[in-house]
Amino acid sequence: MRKEQYDSERPSAAFPFESRYVDVLGHRIHYIEEGRGAPVLYVHGNPTSSYLWRNVLPAVAADTRGRGIALDLPGFGRSGKLADGNYTLDLYYRVLEGFIEKLGLKDLVLVLHDWGGPLGMMYAVRHRDDVKAVALMETFLWDTSWKDYGKFKAVFKLFRSPIGYLMIQVMNFFVNKILPGSVVRKENMTREVMDHYRQPFPTIASRRPVRIFPKLIPIEGRPETSRLFIEEIEDNLRRLDIPVLWIKATPGAIITSNTEYRLVALAARLPRLMVMKFGPGLHYLQEDDPGRLAELIAGWIKGQNLHNLPPEIDKILFDAA
């Protein structure tokens, strides 16, 4: 579907994919896929799932003649919950790594959002021969500062405090308020869309992974496990000689006018970084304008000739910044 159609039509809330499951390290992991050819793996963040990519994945697969795959991390979407509730950064990484190995995915293009960014980039720096390119949006590859959070500083401090249990697990605040509040086009967040996002979290206990992710964000060196995770990524970025795309929205939520220096610093470490302008968007760009997002990703894949297709430079519909 073309961007022009999305300008007049609300993106679909439907999730018309066959559910597939694979056992990874004893965890039942749900995923969807569409298309055949070179693999493009989509990795979500908090509090989303493969549902986030429902309007992007098939459009990119069709335009590039590739194979789109999106998984649900443990505790999210239709993947299994942990009986002990011990959701850790190491667990999420090992499951992602095991998932890729289980499906035998090689020459990957990774498309990463939110927490999918550091998880996927860790895979890229540890498995450089298996990753062909990486596309990033609304994510972080650095130890953040409280200054980065602007008006959201107070709420994220609460999320990381004992009050976070009441806000996120009892009141379901992250799903009910943060998610729809982080989209420019509020009309896109219909009841049907929100019902899909609420479905994996019907109970207080089931919302634990949503609460854990804010506590895992590396902020001024804490928690130490997250700081060390990020430092390993940062220390190896210069060795990652592959195309890397950053899709930047306006005003954005993670990369804003006040935090653009983060991209400047990243460009100094990534030799083949390209930044493309998305247009109006906050954090969940997949809900703001999935047609635009699919065009940028597919145009970049074809422009870089990542799937060995004839380049069609005159048809690339983006502005490089």
Inform me whether the pLDDT recorded for 318 exceeds 60. Answer: no
For the question of whether the overall pTM of this predicted structure is more than 0.85, the answer is: yes
Q: Which residues of 180-210 are buried (b: 16+ CB within 10 A; e: fewer)?
A: bebbbeeebbeeebeebbeebbeeeeebbbb
Cα–Cα distance between 123 and 9 in angstroms, integer? 37
CB contact at 8 A, 255 and 136: no
Please report whether residue 320 resides in a domain: no
- Number of structural domains (the chain) is 1
Please report whether residue 19 resides in a domain: yes
Mean of all residue pLDDT scores within the chain: 93
Please report whether residue 321 resides in a domain: no
Inform me whether the pLDDT recorded for 44 exceeds 70. Answer: yes
Inform me whether the pLDDT recorded for 320 exceeds 70. Answer: no
Percentage of residues of the chain with pLDDT beyond 90? 90
Q: What is the pLDDT of residues 1-13, one digit of tens each?
A: 334 333 446 899 9
Find the catalytic residue in 33, 63, 72, 114.
114
Q: Tell me: cis bond preceding 214? Omega within 30 of 0 counts.
A: no
72 noted as active-site residue:
no
Cα–Cα distance between 181 and 171 in angstroms, integer? 16
Query: Which residues touch 213 (CB under 8 Å, ≥6 apart)?
Result: 45, 46, 47, 115
Q: Which residues pair with 39 in a beta bridge?
A: 67
Q: Which residues of 134-144 are buried (b: 16+ CB within 10 A; e: fewer)?
A: bbbbbbbbbbb
Burial class for 7, CB neighbours closer than 10 Å (0-12, 13-18, 19+): exposed
Please report whether residue 148 resides in a domain: yes
307 noted as active-site residue:
no
Inform me whether the pLDDT recorded for 321 exceeds 60. Answer: no
Find the catalytic residue in 283, 287, 289, 295.
283
pLDDT confidence of residue 308: 61
Please report whether residue 139 resides in a domain: yes
Find the catalytic residue in 33, 63, 72, 138.
138
Please report whether residue 57 resides in a domain: yes
114 noted as active-site residue:
yes
Q: CATH number of the domain that 64 lies in?
A: 3.40.50.1820
Q: What is the mean pLDDT of residues 286-298?
A: 97
Task: Please state the length of the chain.
Answer: 321
Inform me whether the pLDDT recorded for 54 exceeds 90. Answer: yes
Domain with 171, as residue range(s), is: 3-315
